[in-house]
Structure 1
């Protein structure tokens, strides 16, 4: 006879103890990798790896801003003497007549001019002048303080200097954009970008106009 004390089987599995569930969960986690991470390893945040933007961003930004400001300073420092000569503040005034201008290739020219001083007591001299000039061309000029060449003065000389100085806004136009991106500031990025492109376009137009009128 079947034992009356024997309990009938039920379809339910016995409940697992908390310790068993913890052990089973740990085993499952160790045996199966988390989606999106190799070998089940959790991703390490960028801040803990030392690659955070707030550290690298400002450093890179300051470096680029320094380069832009240095380039702007070089343009101003290089152009200022020519502008002073064009305005009559430096150099010896006179008139230049281009005698010859030879194209040496690769954007280099060898141009000579006869320079007649405004002071009648001084004899004319033959000296180097601005490149890409035309033979027979006559223009008001000044002998540089170094005495090595003559350069145009008046409107032509001023336009040539303005064409170079217009590169300064082009150098600094994107500094506000770099500041916003360097510090992770989202507000105002679009307006700063639009303004930078507008200033750059105007600077390029002014530079091209000045170089054409000053040539």
Structure 2
């Protein structure tokens, strides 16, 4: 019994700290930083289409009524809706899986006609969830650059900036999620 307990206790003991020669070299650190920045910029790129739809820049305006939501198991749903364009044309489209049958809202039909996205403040906040996540990912990149380049001046400011950006990111993501599910 004590051997099992010793194994459990040792699992939570701190391991060796990295020393010289155990951190990535210049090439490795450059690769890590490029991947980090790429990961932070990806949400901005991915959400461009949804933001354009939510603001009405692209697509066709109309009214969306959620008509069915089918459970796919494991908490996933496939929802369908009836989109009626302002000119009277109607079609069945895919809608957000967080929809509720009977929901009626203003929406934009995507140019391909396969899905509709809520418009107005709620749609825009929901579309901005991913960019806010990107802000959180990128928040501490300036500090890491200063650390990697061994620049001591300005680190305190970049920590404060990173903390502020992370807080703004958290508020934006939570607000966007609440908007998406309302």
Class of the TM-score when normalised by the shorter of the 2 chains: 0.7 to 0.9
Question: Contact 1:87 / 1:158 at 8 angstroms: preserved in 2?
Answer: yes
Structure 1 residues 172-196: Cα deviation after superposition (integer angstroms, max 9, x where no partner)? 1111121122122333334322321
> Gaps spanning 5+ residues in structure 1: where?
1-45
CA 128–196 in structure 1, closer or farther in 2 if over 3 Å, else same: same
Question: Contact 1:61 / 1:179 at 8 angstroms: preserved in 2?
Answer: no
Larger Rg: 1
Question: Contact 2:98 / 2:180 at 8 angstroms: preserved in 1?
Answer: no
> Gaps spanning 5+ residues in structure 2: where?
1-19
Q: State the 1:52 CA deviation.
A: 9.3
Query: Structure 1: which 4+ aligned runs deviate by more than 6 Å?
Result: none
SS at match of 2:128: helix
Q: Within 5 Å, give how 1:1-215 maps onto structure 2.
A: 51=21, 56=25, 58-120=26-88, 122=89, 124-215=90-181
More strand by share: 2
Distance 1:167 1:77 in 2: 12
The count of residues paired between Structure 1 and Structure 2 equals 162
Question: Contact 1:163 / 1:207 at 8 angstroms: preserved in 2?
Answer: yes
Q: State the 1:198 CA deviation.
A: 2.5
Question: Contact 1:164 / 1:211 at 8 angstroms: preserved in 2?
Answer: no
Q: State the 1:107 CA deviation.
A: 4.5
TM-score, normalised by the number of residues in structure 2: 0.79
Q: State the 1:152 CA deviation.
A: 0.9
SS at match of 1:187: coil
CA 63–107 in structure 1, closer or farther in 2 if over 3 Å, else same: farther
SS at match of 1:166: helix
